[in-house]
């Protein structure tokens, strides 16, 4: 699932690959992918792709005064291909055909179609509901007081930090890394944090910038479908904590998995596995 660091490196690499190219045509084979109809996608034909950037976890393709705002949801991927997609490719959602024969393709893996795109005048992207409702971006990190306000809520840190309306850019992978870096329990509530803990959490946001730097060093011009994420605790249950050697634990909620170091984050307590306890009832 692409989060802020993954979408940032995707936007940077695609920008480097296609900025300045002319659009031949844009197709949307995904049945429900387009959430706007006016202006129509045909308006993009003949335009220059003027830049690719990121807002929160959303890539934005700019074509002068029109912009395509994309939400990848959990299974969408954006990549440049040197040839055109077969129209039988059922993963295709949006195809931006460029005049040099390349194609910028939004694909979505799995059976559900949830990724979406909106074609908007560039100057109203910031007013779109999906953008205007975002909390402060997690990277570059907001000022400490802005961050403290954003998370001063009586909710567990794990869902709170992933809630884009409170703070934008963090998902299920990086939330574990940020909480581990800050040595805080995923089940501590935002309003229970001391000033010192808020500061620690704020400082821990640097893991997002570190991840982008890691991708800059390791990802070439061609983006792989699955980025090798430099995760230290997420999905590493059973492995030793890289800081203290304690075995990393996992706790599950529905299909969500949270990993943490019990020694450093939960005062030595191993949290009850709520999925397992439901099965045992």
> Sheet harboring 66-71: ordered strands across?
51-55, 58-63, 66-71, 116-121
241 is an interface residue for Zn ion by CB under 5 A? yes
Q: How far apart are CA 49 and CA 37, in angstroms?
A: 20
From 27-35, 40-48, 66-74, 246-254, give the range in contact with Zn ion by CB under 5 A: 246-254
261 is an interface residue for Zn ion by CB under 5 A? yes
Query: Which of 50, 246 has the CB closer to Zn ion?
Result: 246
Give the shortest CB-264-to-Zn ion separation in angstroms: 4
Q: How far apart are CA 167 and CA 139, in angstroms?
A: 10
Q: Of these, 124, 126, 132, 244, which contacts Zn ion (CB under 5 A)? A: 244
Where are the strands (E) in the chain, listed by range?
23-27, 51-55, 58-63, 66-71, 76-81, 92-98, 103-108, 116-121, 249-253, 256-260
Q: How far apart are CA 2 and CA 64, in angstroms?
A: 26
Tokens of 109: 């893996």
Tokens of 3: 């989060």
Give the shortest CB-182-to-Zn ion separation in angstroms: 12
Give the shortest CB-199-to-Zn ion separation in angstroms: 20
Distances (CA, A) of 143 to 37, 133, 139, 176: 38, 19, 11, 22
Q: What share of the chain is helix, strand, coil (3-state, %, to 5)?
A: 30, 25, 45
Query: Which of 39, 240 has the CB closer to Zn ion?
Result: 240
Give the shortest CB-243-to-Zn ion separation in angstroms: 5
Give the shortest CB-247-to-Zn ion separation in angstroms: 9
264 is an interface residue for Zn ion by CB under 5 A? yes
Q: How far apart are CA 237 and CA 251, in angstroms?
A: 9
Query: Which of 244, 276 has the CB closer to Zn ion?
Result: 244
Q: Of these, 71, 243, 256, 275, which contacts Zn ion (CB under 5 A)? A: 243
From 96-104, 115-123, 218-226, 245-253, give the range in contact with Zn ion by CB under 5 A: 245-253
From 13-21, 140-148, 212-220, 254-262, give the range in contact with Zn ion by CB under 5 A: 254-262
DSSP reduced 3-state for 202: helix
Tokens of 171: 């998902």
From 3-11, 97-105, 184-192, 242-250, give the range in contact with Zn ion by CB under 5 A: 242-250
Binding site for Zn ion (CB under 5 A): 241, 243-244, 246, 261, 264
């Amino acid at each position: 699932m692409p989060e802020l660091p993954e979408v940032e490196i995707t936007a940077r690499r695609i920008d480097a690959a296609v900025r300045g190219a002319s659009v031949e045509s844009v197709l949307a084979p995904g049945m429900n992918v387009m959430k706007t109809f006016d202006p129509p996608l045909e308006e993009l034909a003949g335009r220059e792709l003027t830049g690719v950037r990121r807002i929160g976890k959303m890539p934005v393709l700019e074509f002068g005064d029109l912009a395509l705002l994309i939400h990848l949801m959990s299974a969408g991927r954006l990549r440049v291909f040197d040839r055109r997609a077969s129209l039988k490719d059922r993963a295709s959602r949006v195809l931006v055909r460029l005049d040099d024969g390349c194609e910028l393709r939004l694909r979505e893996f799995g059976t559900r179609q949830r990724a979406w795109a909106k074609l908007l005048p560039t100057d109203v992207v910031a007013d779109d509901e999906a953008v205007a409702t975002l909390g402060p971006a997690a990277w570059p990190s907001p000022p400490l007081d802005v961050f403290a306000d954003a998370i001063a809520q009586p909710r567990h840190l794990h869902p709170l930090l992933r809630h884009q309306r409170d703070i934008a850019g963090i998902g299920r992978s990086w939330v574990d890394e940020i909480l581990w870096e800050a040595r805080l329990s995923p089940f501590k509530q935002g309003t229970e944090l001391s000033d010192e803990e808020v500061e620690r959490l704020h400082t821990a946001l640097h893991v997002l910038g570190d991840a982008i730097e890691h991708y800059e060093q390791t990802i070439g011009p061609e983006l792989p479908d699955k980025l090798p994420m430099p995760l230290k605790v997420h999905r590493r249950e059973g492995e030793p904590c890289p800081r203290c050697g304690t075995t990393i634990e996992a706790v599950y909620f529905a299909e969500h998995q949270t990993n943490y170091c019990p020694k450093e984050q939960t005062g030595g307590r191993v949290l009850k596995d709520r999925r397992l306890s439901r099965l045992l009832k």
